[in-house]
Amino acid sequence: MKNIIFLFALLTLSAMSCTHQSMQTESTNKNEISGDLIIFHAGSLSVPFKEMADSFKVLYPKVNVILEAAGSVKCARKITDLHLDCDIMASADYAVIDKFLMPQYADWNLPFAVNEMSIVYNSNSRHANEIDSTNWYKILLKKDVAYGRSDPNSDPCGYRTVLTSKLAEKYYKLPNFSSKLLAKDTKHIRPKEVDLLALLEVKSIDYIFLYKSVALQHNLKYLVLPDKINLKNNDLAELYAQFSVEINGKTPSEKELMIGEPMLYGITAIKNSPNPKAKTAFIDFVLSEKGKAIMKKNGQETPEPMPNKNYNLLPNELQKYALKLTN
């Protein structure tokens, strides 16, 4: 009996020791992660990423998270053209990372959120009481109505607005609708979509082509567009791909063709960045259940892990968020 008691005590002490060592290791790992963490991100991620940064800071108090919002294309150009220090880039369109950053500035690209196009407004907007999915295209063309959109050369929401207008022309069978709409109110084009919120607030504009998530985050009214227009539905990928938008490329003489497809946000780590340990930890947090919950709370669902062509280049900690391509 004494031997059994002794053995039980020994096992208990061993377990306590392992737990203590595990806690020490975890504490050491957290203490090793420190310093500035620079994140360039899409304007539509401003609210959820601020919440992410605050939660991450609780886990890693020695890290100073620096968030810089801009249109996703502009974010990429700050890295490629201006060579600014950056650890992480989170884009409203994963294709921006593929086209502008890989392979020179980034090894991989992980999808982490979805969204949809909508038309955002408030109670002061002209014709707010009558606009719906059957007449919005008529109302936006009215002379007494002003609408805003972001710059396609800086922001995915900008070229997605163009795609939405082309899809609407087809869906509603409206000849020349897209060209008429895009020629109207060009003075209200801004570098990124969230820049337009102030114009709506001061009644300079009545409507904005904007992501549904941003409308939800700012408690604004929004018009749900049909799936054949809103770039949301994966089953309609072939329809979306019938349209494209040409934007400025990597150099002044180049152009990039952005093909219509279901919305998919992407996140990547920038090569040779100042804070490699912190960037992996933050991306792990974004893709974790806690990060997913923050995204969902702010109006964005997260996709299931997808096959990734650069799976073998992912850090070991992040491979669980992707699937390995099979021949």
Q: What is the pLDDT along the chain (327 residues), one digit of tens a residue?
A: 545 544 444 444 444 444 444 433 344 366 689 999 999 999 999 999 999 999 999 999 999 999 999 999 999 999 999 999 999 999 999 999 999 999 999 999 999 999 999 999 999 999 999 999 899 999 999 999 999 999 999 999 999 999 999 999 999 999 999 999 999 999 999 998 889 999 999 999 999 999 999 999 999 999 999 999 999 999 999 999 999 999 998 877 889 999 999 999 999 999 999 999 999 999 999 999 999 999 999 999 999 999 999 999 999 999 999 999 876
Per-residue pLDDT, 252: 73
Buried residues in 11-39 as b, exposed as e (16+ CB within 10 A): eeeeeeeeeeeeeeeeeeeeeebeeebbb
For the beta carbon of residue 7, count every other beta carbon within 10 angstroms: 10
List, in order of start, the domains of the chain with CATH numbers: 32-114+265-324 (3.40.190.10), 117-259 (3.40.190.10)
* Rounded distance between C-alpha atoms, residue 193 and residue 149, angstroms: 6
* Rounded distance between C-alpha atoms, residue 120 and residue 207, angstroms: 6
Per-residue pLDDT, 31: 66
In this structure, are residues 38 and 78 in contact, taking their beta carbons and an 8 Å threshold?
no
In this structure, are residues 67 and 53 in contact, taking their beta carbons and an 8 Å threshold?
yes
Q: Which residue in 164, 169, 171 sits closest to 210, CA to CA?
A: 164
Q: Residue 265 burial by CB count (10 A; 0-12/13-18/19+): exposed, middle or buried?
A: buried
In this structure, are residues 244 and 160 in contact, taking their beta carbons and an 8 Å threshold?
no
- Is residue 142 helix, strand or coil? coil
Per-residue pLDDT, 42: 97
